[in-house]
A and B are shown apart, each in its own frame.
Chain A
């Protein structure tokens, strides 16, 4: 067992007079130890970690974005996804190092607040919480599109578009399910991810063989940069929402067994897996129809792609997979958002009440409602691209700052900082990661950037008002 005493001291109190909870005495492979005889058990293994990462990510990139991305960038959308994957990897590596040094609940928020101070932490922590809400809302709208497509497939024509209504319904249902204490959510997540990967692998293998001409199709007709070069980058900024999942692994870092080994493997592994799937998906999808027609299909373009290759059974399989995937992404994000609330209230940046556990169900009902409620408001807007971009923006800020935090920590080298995994290529990798994260923001729509900045500003003002005297930075 490796004993790593985090030994980060926190101080100060918030408006309500609450102080940050004491830091643990030691972190071992199996537990987090407080006060000598109180332990928090680590119960999520490598498979569980991968399932959280892949399960959160695989919904958006494959089932919502292909049509939108192809519409923007043509076949070059494959490159957009590859760029997104590369940036995610550049951030996942430094995140892994931070996570092995500080395997605690809260992920990016925890690393930044301990590495760079409370103000940055508060902006990122509240930003992460809100960013996850935007992401969940985005997944739920995607789910609404898939559920509507099911109605269309069944030949039921509705006089209105059911997309938002279904999104709201599922949002409310997911929140209620989480509060009611569904058992074995993690096991279900593992199974769902397994099924998705099998269905997608089969489908994509067939699609690739078809696209390169094995079955006589042989249609890779397009000019690669059919929309020019610039849209490749704006599309990368848009679809970056597909890569938010690895950070969700870090939000449950406190519950991962053998964190020194499993955290880096789960984060980097899940990014690599989904990048391959995304790139191949866009390639197959654009080969089947060409970017123009694919773009017209919108959010459920993949259903048409499947129908083109495999007929009605293909369409049904992808519809089912799309429902599962968007559902599991939304679910994972709501749970991560409640973990973020817990981490913030533990550090007295939010009222302690916010992470109160329900006596009857044992679930953090206030935190879950605090995530679920605003999500419904966001779903009601129905703005897929805007929701996705704001979620990306808030995460990209966090990613950039995580890379900075890593550089700061390495330079100051405080006594407690002893990661068991060290990022290769320091300082180039975290520096490039920072630049890439912040750089990608420049290619977003002004509206998304504006909303994102407002969120950050409000977060900062909240911190000044509510917890101005709290310091979390520790002995560095």
Chain B
């Protein structure tokens, strides 16, 4: 068995976000970093919210922790009061060295996994997440790449086969791995369309660009349109810039 991949599960714990059905089972083989966070407006000192809400939030997190542990995951947890939820998620991801973050949506038993592969960058982490979470299950994994015009079929095949090989190296049965190539559609739409037939989507986090500032991260957009859970594999932590 491979190492348990660390998966961040962020929940706005005081605003009714809870662990949806099927998610504990989905992450049964993971090391779950359970992040309960509460965003307070700038008028309020985070400590003020802590004084009032800590007990309630802790109670909920106890409950969720028990759910994950029952399913078989190992759990580590944080409760954070913050002005800036995204900063909290990013920091926790880095500090706990999480391979991926989960956008939690309900799911049934996981039988089909869609893995959206973008390029060679981050393939290693993608492989560790997929093999770690689904290696020991019966789920079938479909590696999906939406190719651009300049790409030849050979390029795509090399990319997808390379990932398939890695997964096999990590103990996955080749018969459970399929590859599939999409063409002629914007990557995002293609992924959302393809996702319909699957229980879970695993995809990479893209680089922040101007478009992502305007429209949000592609992963978020997929998560908005796809009703099941999305695992967003995080970029390799870059060297400290500060």
Interface residues of chain A, those whose CB is within 8 Å of chain B, are 21, 30-32, 34, 37-41, 43-44, 105, 178-179, 181-186, 252, 254-255, 258, 335, 338-339, 342, 346, 352, 355-357, 361-364, 368
Contact = CB atoms under 8 A, between A and B. Distances in A.
Contact of B47 (A40, A178, A338): A40
Contacts of A105: 45, 47
Contacts of B107: none
Given A37-B77, A38-B54, A43-B82, A32 B41 contact: no
Contacts of A357: 40, 44, 48-49, 52-53
A368 B54 CA distance: 22
B84 interface: yes
Interface string B44-88: 111111111110001000000000000000000111111110011
Contact of B51 (A258, A338, A346): A346
A38 B242 CA distance: 25
A363 B41 contact: yes
Contacts of B80: 31, 38-41
B43 interface: yes
Interface string B17-40: 000000000000000000000011
Contacts of A40: 46-47, 50, 80-82
B91 A30 contact: yes
Sorted from nearest, which 3 A-B pairs have the closest CB atoms?
Answer: A41-B82, A40-B46, A43-B83
B149 interface: no
Contacts of B41: 181-183, 185, 361-363
A185 B83 CA distance: 11
A444 B82 CA distance: 42
Nearest to B40: A362
Contact of A363 (B44, B84, B88): B44
B88 to A, nearest CB: 5
A346 B47 contact: yes
B42 interface: yes
A41 B81 contact: yes
B66 to A, nearest CB: 15
Nearest to A41: B82
B43 A41 contact: no
Given A37-B77, A41-B81, A43-B83, A335 B43 contact: yes
Contacts of B82: 40-41, 43
Given A252-B45, A362-B39, 7 more contacts: A40-B81, A185-B41, A258-B242, A335-B42, A346-B47, A364-B43, A364-B48
A10 B26 CA distance: 45
Contacts of B43: 178-179, 181-182, 185, 335, 338, 363-364, 368
Interface of B: 39-54, 58, 77-84, 87-88, 91, 242
Contacts of B39: 362
A36 B46 CA distance: 17
Contacts of B42: 183-186, 335
A43 B80 CA distance: 12
A342 B84 contact: no
A255 B242 CA distance: 18
Contacts of A38: 50, 54, 58, 78-81
Nearest to B91: A30
28 contacts: A31-B80, A37-B77, A38-B79, A38-B81, A40-B82, A41-B46, A41-B80, A41-B82, A41-B84, A41-B91, A105-B47, A178-B43, A182-B41, A183-B41, A184-B42, A186-B42, A252-B45, A339-B45, A346-B47, A346-B51, A357-B40, A357-B44, A357-B48, A357-B52, A357-B53, A363-B41, A363-B43, A364-B43
Contact of A355 (B46, B51, B53): B51
Given A30-B91, A346-B47, A368-B43, A39 B81 contact: yes
Contacts of A335: 42-43
Given A186-B42, A255-B46, A362-B44, A39 B78 contact: yes
Contacts of B48: 342, 355, 357, 364
A254 B44 CA distance: 12
Contacts of A186: 42, 83
A32 B79 CA distance: 12
Contacts of A352: 51
Nearest to B61: A37
Nearest to B84: A43
A296 to B, nearest CB: 40
A183 to B, nearest CB: 7
A255 B88 CA distance: 13
B166 to A, nearest CB: 33
Given A34-B50, A181-B41, A352-B51, A43 B79 contact: no
Contacts of A183: 41-42
A182 B42 CA distance: 8
Q: Which of A21, A31, A339, A361: most chain B Cβ within 10 A?
A: A31
A234 B41 CA distance: 41
A339 to B, nearest CB: 6
B114 to A, nearest CB: 34
A105 B51 CA distance: 13
A379 to B, nearest CB: 20
A385 B40 CA distance: 37
Contacts of B58: 38
Contacts of B45: 105, 252, 254-255, 339, 342, 364
A355 B47 CA distance: 10
A390 B175 CA distance: 80
Contacts of B83: 41, 43-44, 186, 255
Nearest to A183: B41
A230 B47 CA distance: 46
A301 B53 CA distance: 49
A254 B47 contact: yes
A34 to B, nearest CB: 7
B79 A37 contact: yes
Contacts of B47: 21, 32, 40, 105, 254, 342, 346
Contacts of B40: 357, 362
A157 to B, nearest CB: 38
A464 to B, nearest CB: 25
Contacts of B77: 37
A409 B8 CA distance: 42
A43 B88 CA distance: 9
A126 to B, nearest CB: 18
